[in-house]
Structure 1
Amino acid sequence: MAAAMAVAGERPGRPAGPGPGPGRGEEPFSPSVLGTREHWDAAYERELQTFQDIGDAGEIWFGEESMVRIIKWLEKQKVPHDSPVLDIGTGNGVLLIELAKSGYTNLTGIDYSPSAIQLSEKVREKEGMSDIKLKVEDFLAPSAELSGFEICIDKGTFDAISLNPDNAVGKRKQYVRSLCSVLKPEGFFLITSCNWTKEELLNEFREGFEILEELPTPKFCFGGRIGNSVTALVFQRKKVRPSILDKLD
Structure 2
Amino acid sequence: MALPGDEPFSPSVLGTREHWDAAYERELQTFQDIGDTGEIWFGEESMVRIIRWLEKHKVPLDSSVLDIGTGNGVLLVELAKSGYTNLTGIDYSPSAIQLSEKVREKEGMSNIKLKVEDFLAPSAELSGFDICIDKGTFDAVSLDPSDAAGKRRLYVGSLGRVLKPEGFFLITSCNWTKEELLNEFREGFEILEELPTPKFCFGGRIGNSVTALVFQRKKVRPSILDKLD
- Shorter-chain TM-score range: over 0.9
Moved over 4 A (4+): none
Per-residue CA shift, 1:103-145, capped at 9, x if unaligned?
A: 0000000000000000000000000000000000000000000
TM-score by length of 2: 0.98
Q: Secondary structure at the match of 1:62?
A: coil
Is the 8 Å Cα contact of residues 151 and 188 (structure 1) preserved in structure 2?
Answer: yes
- How far apart are the structure 2 equivalents of 1:131 and 1:137? 18
- How far apart are the structure 1 equivalents of 2:158 and 2:146? 18
| Structure 1 match to 2:137 | 157
Per-residue CA shift, 1:168-199, capped at 9, x if unaligned?
A: 00000000000000000000000000000000
- How far apart are the structure 1 equivalents of 2:205 and 2:116? 42
Q: Secondary structure at the match of 2:170?
A: strand
Per-residue CA shift, 1:74-118, capped at 9, x if unaligned?
A: 000100000000000000000000000000000000000000000
- How far apart are the structure 1 equivalents of 2:95 and 2:223? 43
How many residues are matched?
Answer: 225
1:248 Cα deviation (Å)? 1.0
- How far apart are the structure 2 equivalents of 1:218 and 1:60? 16
- How far apart are the structure 2 equivalents of 1:37 and 1:185? 30
Is the 8 Å Cα contact of residues 149 and 184 (structure 1) preserved in structure 2?
Answer: yes
- How far apart are the structure 1 equivalents of 2:24 and 2:228? 52
Is the 8 Å Cα contact of residues 26 and 169 (structure 1) preserved in structure 2?
Answer: no
- How far apart are the structure 1 equivalents of 2:24 and 2:153? 26
Say what the alpha-carbon RMSD is for the aligned residues.
0.5
Q: Secondary structure at the match of 2:28?
A: helix
- How far apart are the structure 1 equivalents of 2:99 and 2:37? 8
> How does 1:20-39 map onto structure 2 within 5 Å?
25-39=5-19
Q: Secondary structure at the match of 2:152?
A: helix
Is the 8 Å Cα contact of residues 29 and 163 (structure 1) preserved in structure 2?
Answer: yes
Q: Secondary structure at the match of 1:241?
A: coil
**Would you say 1:178 and 2:163 are equivalent positions?**
no
- How far apart are the structure 2 equivalents of 1:40 and 1:228? 26
Per-residue CA shift, 1:193-236, capped at 9, x if unaligned?
A: 00000000000000000000000000000111100000000000
Is the 8 Å Cα contact of residues 61 and 155 (structure 1) preserved in structure 2?
Answer: yes
- How far apart are the structure 2 equivalents of 1:204 and 1:26? 14
Per-residue CA shift, 1:50-89, capped at 9, x if unaligned?
A: 0000000001000000000000000001000000000000
Aligned with 2:168 (options 169, 188, 191): 188
Is the 8 Å Cα contact of residues 90 and 109 (structure 1) preserved in structure 2?
Answer: yes
1:26 Cα deviation (Å)? 3.3
1:27 Cα deviation (Å)? 1.1
- How far apart are the structure 1 equivalents of 2:72 and 2:21? 12
Per-residue CA shift, 1:141-182, capped at 9, x if unaligned?
A: 000000000000000000000000000000000000000000
1:245 Cα deviation (Å)? 1.1
Overall identity of the aligned pairs, in %? 92
Give unmatched runs, 5+ long, in structure 1.
1-24
Q: Secondary structure at the match of 1:69?
A: helix
TM-score by length of 1: 0.90
| Structure 2 match to 1:230 | 210
Structure with the greater relative contact order (CA < 8 A, sep ≥ 6): 1 or 2? 1
Is the 8 Å Cα contact of residues 94 and 120 (structure 1) preserved in structure 2?
Answer: yes
